[in-house]
Amino acid sequence: MKAQENVLPIEGSSRVIARQERRIGGILAERGKLGASDIERVLELQQGKGLRFGEAALRAGLITEDDLRSALAKQFDFPQLLPGNDGVSTELVVAYEPSHPRAEELRALRTQLLFRWSSTEASQRVLAIVSPGPGEGRSYVVANLAVLFSQLGERTLLIDADLRAPRQHRIFNLPNRIGLSAVLSDRADRGAVIPLPNIGTLSILPAGAPPPNPQELLSRHALGILLEGLRAEFDVILFDTPPARHYADAQSVAFRAGSVMVLARKDHTRLADAAGVIRELGDTGIRVIGTVLNRF
C-alpha cells in the first residue's frame, strides 16, 4: 500500500506505554503458564545467562513464543491476537502480525490520518473509506485501521455501511442478524454496537440483515442522528462502504461522515474511475482527506 502525494508521509508514533508494575513472570503465572517452581527455575537461568525473563522461560522450554508474545502485548497494553483466535480473520494483519511490513505501512497511514486531523483541528474524527469498484480492499484497510486506532487507546467504532455485500462481521467473526440496517429502520438502537474487548477499545456496528432499500436507508436523517449520538462515545469512527461507482450509497455515507479517504488498487482500479469518484465527492462538498494506492 502506498500513500499518494496528497497524503503527507511522516513517521509514526505510539502512545502505548508499558505498565512498569506488570512483570512478564506475573502475567504468565496469572495465565497458568508458569508455577512457583517454574519461576524459580527461570530466575536461576536468567541470572546465570544474563537473559530477559521471557527469553529464559523460552530457553527452558516452559512457554511457547506465542505465550511470550501474548504476555508482552498484555504488559504494554497492546491488543494482539494469536492464530486461531475465535475465528477472527487473518486479514487483521496488524493484530496477528504487528511486525509484518504490511502492518508497518498501515501504521504509516494511521499516522498520516492523525496528522491530517490534527492540522485541521478536527474535533470529530469521522472518516468514510471509499473506492470506485469491488475487490479494491476497502474492508481490509478499514478493518486494520480500526484495530490500529484501538491499539493507540482510542475509543474506535467501525460501522459497516455496505448494506449490499457486508464483510466486517466475517472479518471479526460476529453475528450479523442485527446491525446498521435495523438501527436506521428504527428496529434497533445503539445497543447493536458490539464491543470487542479482546481487541482493546474497538467496537463494531455490523451491517445487519440486507434491506431492500439500502440507498434510501442511508439517505435518511436517521444516519445523521445516529452518528451525532455516537460522536460522544467514540474518539474515532470509521465507515466501510459499497463500491462508489456502482451505488450512490458511498456518497450518502461520506456526506454524513464529512470526510473521506479514496482507495484504489494497483493493476485493478482504472485511473479514470478513481478520478471520477474524487471529483464527484468534491463537487458535493465532501472533504477528500487523501488517496491511497493499495498494492495487495
Question: pLDDT in tens for each of the 296 residues of the chain?
Answer: 544 434 433 333 344 434 444 787 887 888 788 888 888 888 888 888 888 887 888 888 887 776 766 666 666 666 666 666 667 899 999 988 888 999 999 999 999 999 888 876 555 699 999 999 999 999 999 999 999 999 999 999 999 999 999 999 999 999 999 999 999 999 999 999 999 988 889 999 999 999 999 999 999 999 999 999 999 999 999 999 999 999 999 999 999 999 999 999 999 999 999 999 999 999 988 999 999 998 87
The CA–CA distances, whole Å, from 36 to 23, 39, 50, 179 equal 15, 5, 21, 47
Q: Which domain holds residue 238?
A: 86-294
Q: Is residue 1 in some structural domain? A: no
**Residues 255 and 162 placed together within one structural domain of the fold:** yes
Q: Are residues 63 and 147 in the same domain?
A: no
- 259 plus 235 within the same structural domain: yes
Cβ neighbours around 164 below 10 Å, total: 17
* pLDDT given at position 7: 40
In the chain, the number of structural domains is 2
Note whether residue 2 is domain-resident. Answer: no
CA atoms within 13 A on the CB side of 175: 6
> Both 144 and 195 in a single domain?
yes
| Whether residue 65 is found in the same domain as residue 92 | no
pLDDT (tens digit, 9 = 90+) per residue, 141-186?
A: 999 999 999 999 999 999 999 999 999 999 999 999 999 999 999 9
d(CA 232, CA 117): 17
- CATH code of the domain covering residue 219: 3.40.50.300
pLDDT value at position 13? 37
Task: State residue 84's pLDDT score.
Answer: 62
Straight-line distance from the first to the last Cα atom of the chain, in angstroms, rounded to the nearest whole number = 7
Q: Are residues 183 and 63 in the same domain?
A: no
pLDDT for the residue numbered 37: 87
Cα(31)–Cα(40) distance, rounded to whole angstroms? 17
64 in any annotated domain: yes
| Per-residue model confidence (pLDDT) at position 274 | 94
Q: In the chain, where do the E strands start and end?
A: 2-3, 125-130, 156-160, 194-196, 202-205, 236-240, 259-265, 287-294
3-state secondary structure 182-199: HHHCCCCCHHHCEEEHHH
Q: Which residue has the cell 486461531?
A: 84
Q: Quick one: 71 and 155 in the same domain?
A: no
Judgement on whether residues 67 and 159 belong to the same structural domain of the protein: no
**Same domain assignment for residues 68 and 90:** no
